[in-house]
Amino acid sequence: MDIHLTILYFLMAFSSCSDRSIATDDIDKFISKYHNETFSDFMNVSISYRDSDFGDNIYMVAKQGGSYPPYIVRFNKRKEEVTGIDNKLLNQSNYTDYFTEKQIKNLMEKFIRVNVQSLSVDSIGNVFIKPFFGDDSPTLLRLKTTTGDSVVRKGHAYELYKDNWYLNNRTPN
């Protein structure tokens, strides 16, 4: 796992939007809703909610598969549009743009519809998703192919929850 993605996951783990406790039923409903969703539009992409500022939500959008620094994207939910794309982290790391403005806007439009805190899909189609906002939100991993393993290590340890869905570091209520 590259350093930028590791930092992004670390920051996501410490971000908070609510203190609502997540119940097993909530997790089961989410899994049921997205069990067959491929998330193919997010292949090799990671998007996470970071903060809110002056009516805009702030997101980090990054490419996976290397040490790609993220774009900082502002999205106004009331207007339902991207209001700013900042590539200063790319510039600081001497990276050229790896997404176009149009690609970022398309990704954000699709991400907003899913309404999750973070979503990342690796190059083989494994989905890492933090479905709920707040400290109590688990990170789920849906493996592309069922392995039957009770614990999977993908940067962190994920314990089998059901089918090909794994749960990171969280015991549901």
* 94: CB partners within 8 A, 6+ apart: none
pLDDT band for 169, please (50, 70, 90 cuts).
low
**pTM metric for this prediction:** 0.82
Give the pLDDT mean for 116-134. Answer: 94
| Residue spans of beta strands (DSSP E) within the chain | 45-53, 56-63, 71-76, 81-86, 118-121, 127-130, 139-142, 151-153, 157-162, 165-168
Contact 132, 103 (CB under 8 A): no
Residue 1: pLDDT band with limits 50, 70, 90: very low
